[in-house]
Amino acid sequence: MNILLINPPNCGRSIPEERYGITSIKQIFRGEPLALETLAGNLPGHEVRIVDLKARPDGLDEALRRFTPDLIGFTAVTCEANWVRSQAPRLQAECDATLVVGGIHASNDPEFFNAPGIDYVVLGLGKQSLRELVEAIETSADTTSIPGVAHTNPGRPLRWRPRAYSRVDLVEERPPRYDLVAGERDRYTLAALGVPLGFVSSAFGCPYDCSFCCIAGLTDSRYLSASIATVIRDIQLLSDVPVIRLVDANTFGHPEHARALCRAIVGAGIDKTFLADVRADTVVRHPELLREWREAGLRSVVIGFEELSDQGLDALNKSASAAANLEAIAILHQLGINIVGDFIVSPDYVEADFARLAAYVAEQRIGLPIYTVLTPLPGTALHRQLRSRIVNHDLDYYTLANAVLPTRLDEGEFYRQFAALYQAGHKEVKL
């Protein structure tokens, strides 16, 4: 079968830009389409291509001139969902292909894709589900009972058998098809430094239940670690790439496994720089683990601090504390590990809240602060909690850089204060 996997373009829209001419806070997603490379890896015997419209925005027509797909697969985060739904009917008609959608939005809000032009929605980790679907289509077998795959039926509720996600779904014997985007490799760089960057997964899902987070939908809240041999193999496949981003939502969720992986990296003689996500409480509980990783090449960590107060953290069900956040920052500074800090700005922020956040980032010397606006993504607990207050339901704006809830400040002033956060505070990225 000819299979074309499509990574949507950067199609999110920006209220601050459209209404107030503020261009500095538009969200741009970069990096290789690892989810599609991973899906492609488990489709042996098929002719698979990936078109990455983030790297090459006009690449779709060219891809379709050279390749006639029997099946087209899209991945999409929430702000890309409208684009996928708008493209599907045209592509289905033009190519006479089966249209499949998966990814984060499909996993959390599958009903959204129960729409004309889309044949199937793949929920959660799709590596094995898509393979089973392709085999069923090819052999004209029943496609309605594959766990984690929903056959669309617009106008009627979507139905599917849930998948009990386990290590089997990782299908570890087959690596990502990094080769399918080899032509785009020079575009996958660390934005701040222009250094080539490769993506590797070492863990999937997260056992925590933060109300704003959409990760749980990928594995039904299970946390699955890839085997050490798998991670080492994938890192080694990216032999020419000096910086590896471990794209897991929570890389150190099983500390003993993370320690064994670190030692295996050293043992394999791998000399690379690593970036990974870690929770603050993990840093506090396991500083020696972070020290070992520092020696193995970990130079920066992404930490979701989210809020400055215990009350704010509790409201997001973060299972964290403001004191632990501060302690983690101190440990990481001591270890010489750069901090990329995620902070969530509530639409209820007034000037004093913005000032407090800017002061915290400066005082704590957060190397690279990343600010997002609190966004109730469909399918999350936060969405269920705040649904009645949402004033903007257009998913194009669900980029995490727009307020889809009413702002307490005048809206223009809110975005000016939000943009100013990026001008203030400490900014330092080293590798």
Sheet strands (E) in 12-62: 47-52
Site pattern 33..72 for ligand SF4 (x: CB under 6 A) = ----------------------------------------
Cβ nearer to ligand SF4, comparing 69 with 304: 304
How far apart CA 185 and CA 240 sit, in angstroms, is: 10
For the chain, the residue count is 431
Residue 108, C-beta contacts closer than 8 angstroms, at least 6 positions apart:
78, 214, 217, 377, 378, 379, 380
Of 377, 373, 301, 390, whose CA–CA distance to 340 is shortest? 301
210: contact with ligand SF4 by CB under 6 A = yes
CB of 350 to ligand SF4, least distance (A): 25
What residue type is assigned to position 60 of the chain? L
Q: What is the largest CA-CA distance in the chain?
A: 63
**Cα torsion for 368, 369, 370, 371, to the nearest 10°?**
-160
Map the footprint of ligand SF4 across residues 292-351, applying CB under 6 A.
304
374: contact with ligand SF4 by CB under 6 A = no
Cβ nearer to ligand SF4, comparing 49 with 222: 222
Q: Please tell me the count of residues contacting ligand SF4 according to CB under 6 A.
A: 9
Cβ nearer to ligand SF4, comparing 215 with 401: 215
Cβ nearer to ligand SF4, comparing 51 with 247: 247
How do beta strands 298-306 and 273-277 pair? parallel
CB of 317 to ligand SF4, least distance (A): 8
Q: Which of 39, 200, 206, 345 binds ligand SF4 (CB under 6 A)?
A: 206
Cβ nearer to ligand SF4, comparing 208 with 293: 208
Q: Which of 112, 208, 293, 418 binds ligand SF4 (CB under 6 A)?
A: 208
Residue 296: which H helix or E strand, with range?
Answer: helix 287-296
Q: Which of 85, 127, 177, 279 binds ligand SF4 (CB under 6 A)?
A: 279
Q: Answer yes or no: are the C-beta atoms of 342 and 317 closer than 8 Å.
A: no
84: contact with ligand SF4 by CB under 6 A = no
Cβ nearer to ligand SF4, comparing 208 with 398: 208
How far apart CA 16 and CA 69 sit, in angstroms, is: 39
Q: Answer yes or no: are the C-beta atoms of 103 and 77 closer than 8 Å.
A: yes
CB of 306 to ligand SF4, least distance (A): 8
**Contact region for ligand SF4 (CB under 6 A) — 9-17, 33-41, 55-63, 206-214?**
206-214
Cβ nearer to ligand SF4, comparing 133 with 328: 328
**Contact region for ligand SF4 (CB under 6 A) — 3-11, 87-95, 202-210, 360-368?**
202-210
**Contact region for ligand SF4 (CB under 6 A) — 10-18, 166-174, 205-213, 370-378?**
205-213
Structure tokens at 18: 């459209």
Burial of 147 (0-12, 13-18, 19+ CB in 10 A): middle
CB of 157 to ligand SF4, least distance (A): 27
**Contact region for ligand SF4 (CB under 6 A) — 43-51, 203-211, 268-276, 295-303?**
203-211
250: contact with ligand SF4 by CB under 6 A = yes
Cβ nearer to ligand SF4, comparing 350 with 381: 381
CB of 277 to ligand SF4, least distance (A): 7
Backbone torsion region of residue 338, taken as left when φ is above 0, otherwise alpha when ψ lies between -120 and 50, otherwise beta: beta
Burial of 384 (0-12, 13-18, 19+ CB in 10 A): exposed
**Four-residue CA torsion sign, 312, 317, 323, 324:** negative
What does the binding site for ligand SF4 look like in residue numbers (CB under 6 A)? 206, 208, 210, 213, 215, 249-250, 279, 304
